[in-house]
Amino acid sequence: MATFVLVHGGGHGGWCYKPVTDRLRAAGHLVHAPSLTGLGERAHLLDASIDLDTHVTDIASLIEVEDLTDVILVGHSYGGMVITGAADRVGGRIGNVVYLDAANPTDGQSLVDVAGPMMLMARSMGEVRNGIELVLIPERTPAQFYGLTDPEQIAWMQAKLSPHPWACFEQPLVLRDPAALARVPQSHIVCTSTLATRDVEALRLASEGRFWDIDTGHDLMLTEPDKVTECLLEVAAWVEDRKGQR
Considering the entire predicted model, what is its pTM?
Answer: 0.97
Q: In Å, how far are 17, 29, 41 from 64, measured between CA atoms?
A: 22, 19, 22
* pLDDT confidence tier of residue 196, bands split at 50, 70 and 90: confident
What pLDDT, on the 0 to 100 scale, is given for residue 245? Answer: 79
Residue 97 binned pLDDT confidence (cut-offs 50, 70, 90):
very high
- Which residues are within 8 A (CB) of 48 and not within 5 positions of it... i.e. 6 or more apart? 130, 131, 132, 165, 167
Structural domain spans, the chain? 3-116+170-244
Residue 241 has pLDDT above 80, yes or no: yes
pLDDT at 246: 67
Which residues participate in catalysis according to the annotation? 77
| Position 77 pLDDT exceeds 70 | yes
Please tell me the CATH code under which domain 3-116+170-244 is placed: 3.40.50.1820
